Amino acid sequence: MEFRNLGRSGLNVSLVGLGCNNFGGRTGIEESRAVIHAALDHGITLFDTADIYGGRGGSEVALGQWLGARRKDIVLASKFGMVMDDRGRKAGGARRYIMQAVEDSLRRLKTDWIDLYQFHRPDPATPIEETLRALNDLITQGKVRYIGCSNMPAWAVVDAQWSAKADGLSPFVSAQDEYSLLDRRPEAELIPALRAKGMGLLPYYPLASGLLSGKYARDATPSDDTRFGKDARTRDRYLTDTNWARVEKLDGFARAHGRDLLTLAFSWLAAQDIVGSVIAGATRPEQIAANVAAAAWKLTPADLADIDVLTR
């Protein structure tokens, strides 16, 4: 396993991370245990969850139950900000809410600290200075080690980093956003902003919700037990003629190099120096092994140039 620092921070993470969004939901408690232990056995240290995952807390509960003494061996990342109650009051980036949200997460995770605490999405109703000051206090208290953001536009990232510097507060060290061979939107504005501010990128949906896994065929209807089969909105977003054309070209490139599509998807992200860790979910232990092995292909500059042509 390769390890990288997240941006210019001292937070060292495994190049392949484990996305824990399925724990407590699609992946039951026992199945979660098997996946968690497989990740540990394969050298994965970054475990990424959120308070909202697994039906409002289920993912954090599963991690708290199964990590045990291995908690100290990992970089535990969680998030706050999404709606955690039916009335919509437990959400956002206000100080009052953050102080309660972190205590709830710590209790569910059965830990005294969170290594990377991430603002899940922007809160236009709360000044970013208030959010950053609350997070800075959590760092001072030892409940949080580093902070990051997610789903935040480039201008807001720059504004947050400027505010942190101006007020002497801890800055975000990372941004977690969708980024893959089929979604390269962050390259236009977000990635240049992250580079300028010394932040790392944690890409989610590295397989474009499964389209880059190689398990779907253009002329076949997705089965009911797959993400595309269950979710029409996701299916309509990804299964477009443009994406299929790109997938077919990328699959041909991978096969010409004796690899598969999944390996290409992971290795391309690993080749981006802004990427700290590629976050990928898993519901079975064998998927962990495949994800770790996939990131090992070292693409050459010529390979990357060819891939650019295929995905533009």
Query: How confident is residue 36, by pLDDT bands cut at 50, 70 and 90?
Result: very high
Task: State pLDDT tens for residues 14-23.
Answer: 999 999 998 8
Buried b / exposed e over 193-220, threshold 16 CB at 10 Å, is bbeebebbbbbbbbbbbbbbbbebeeee
CB atoms inside a 10 Å sphere around CB 308:
11
Question: Token digits for 180?
Answer: 């893959």
Q: Are 117 and 102 in contact (CB under 8 A)?
A: yes
Catalytic residue among 53, 97, 179, 205: 53
Options 1.20.810.10, 2.40.128.120, 3.30.565.10, 3.20.20.100; CATH of 3-210+265-297: 3.20.20.100
How far does Cα 145 stand from its chain's mean position? 18
Question: Token digits for 129?
Answer: 């200075």
Contacts of 188 (CB under 8 A, 6+ apart): none
Work out the average pLDDT over 75-91: 90
In 3D, which of 178, 180, 182, 126 has the Cα closest to residue 156? 126
Work out the average pLDDT over 70-93: 91
In DSSP notation, the chain reads --EEESTTSS-EEESEEEE-TTBTTTB-HHHHHHHHHHHHHTT--EEE--TTHHHHHHHHHHHHHHHGGGGGGSEEEEEE-S--STTS-S-SS-HHHHHHHHHHHHHHHT-S-EEEEEE-S--TTS-HHHHHHHHHHHHHHTSEEEEEEES--HHHHHHHHHHHHHHT-PPEEEEEEE-BTTB-GGGTTHHHHHHHTT-EEEEE-TTGGGGGGT---TTSPPPTTSHHHH-HHHHHHH--HHHHHHHHHHHHHHHHTT--HHHHHHHHHHT-TTBS-EEEE-SSHHHHHHHHHHTT----HHHHHHHHHHH-
The pLDDT, as a whole number, for residue 226 is 73
Put simply, whether the predicted model's pTM sits higher than 0.85 gets the answer yes
Residue with tokens 């690993």: 270
CA distance 30 to 36: 10
Inform me whether the pLDDT recorded for 26 exceeds 70. no
Work out the average pLDDT over 6-27: 90
Does the annotation count 205 as an active-site position?
A: no
Task: State pLDDT tens for residues 243-291.
Answer: 999 999 999 999 999 999 999 999 999 999 999 999 998 888 999 999 9
The pLDDT, as a whole number, for residue 199 is 98
Task: State pLDDT tens for residues 117-155.
Answer: 999 999 999 999 999 999 999 999 999 999 999 999 999
Task: State pLDDT tens for residues 199-257.
Answer: 999 999 999 988 998 888 788 777 777 778 777 888 888 889 999 999 999 999 999 99
Task: State pLDDT tens for residues 89-127.
Answer: 888 999 999 999 999 999 999 999 999 999 999 999 999
Domain locations in the chain? Answer: 3-210+265-297
CA distance 116 to 113: 9
